[in-house]
Amino acid sequence: MRRVKLTLAYDGTAYLGFQVQPNGPTIQSVTEAALGRVLQESVKLRGAGRTDAGVHAREQVADFADSGVRPLETILRGGNALLPPDIRILSAEEVPPSFDARRHASGKEYRYFLYLDPVASPFFFRHAWHIEKPLDRAAVREGLDHLVGEHDFTSFRGQGCTAKTTVRTIFRAEWGELSPALHYISITGGGFLRHMVRNLVGTLVDIGKGKYPPERVRELFSLRDRSEAGPTAPARGLFLWKIAYRIHA
């Protein structure tokens, strides 16, 4: 048996998330079907991150085991030939049998895109949250600074989260500007709770609107109450941007 590491990119607009669901298409189910046709054997993917419905990925990592009969180039070319254009296999490489895309990830970066302009863009409406009124970017940056470190993120945990602990470590939290209107919030950490990034972004946008001071982020760590934090930002603006690995196994 051979273990293969895939790097995937996808537009999640038309999918019910990464993980297989009984009631509609997902990134995992569509990719497994395409690879099964290419390899002529059953394929079961293990994803590094379970992106939700409507969330995108610039770099998702998954792994699977196969018989090793066909070359890796066949997986790359054949898979992309059969996949819809909103899912791409960026690379396929053989890794040690013990490699696990989720367990061996040392960090993940998420980027959330914001379109700040009175008029929505027809080009970014699927991939950014349109906000009509200006934000106090200095206040948002200050709020981001409070995220760095180890904290209890109970106030930012989504409904249905089954994580054993709500303590997570954030390595970096930054604001980026791509154009006068297009901006992003980048959050890198060792792991994330369900809807955590979107709930953080919703709170940070409220801070940018002046509803709360930047110190509200620290208060929410102590309050441990989801109802005290801001709204959940729309899925469409969120990208799984990068996954880091120290070693393959």
Residues belonging to the active site: 52
Residues 6+ apart with CB under 8 A from 77: none
- Could you give the 3-state DSSP secondary structure of residue 218? helix
Angle at 133 between CA 126 and CA 224, to 5 degrees: 80
Other beta carbons within 10 Å of 62: 23
Q: How far apart are CA 210 and CA 124, in angstroms?
A: 25
Beta-bridged to residue 187, according to DSSP, are 110, 173
Tokens found for residue 235: 């899925």
Beta-bridged to residue 6, according to DSSP, are 62, 92
Angle at 214 between CA 208 and CA 218, to 5 degrees: 140
Identify the DSSP state of 9. E
Axis-axis angle for helices 72-82, 27-39 (nearest 10): 120
Residues 6+ apart with CB under 8 A from 9: 57, 58, 59, 60, 87, 88, 90
Q: State the amino acid at position 170 in one-letter form.
A: I
Instruction: Indicate the Cα dihedral angle 52, 58, 62, 68, nearest 10°.
Output: 140
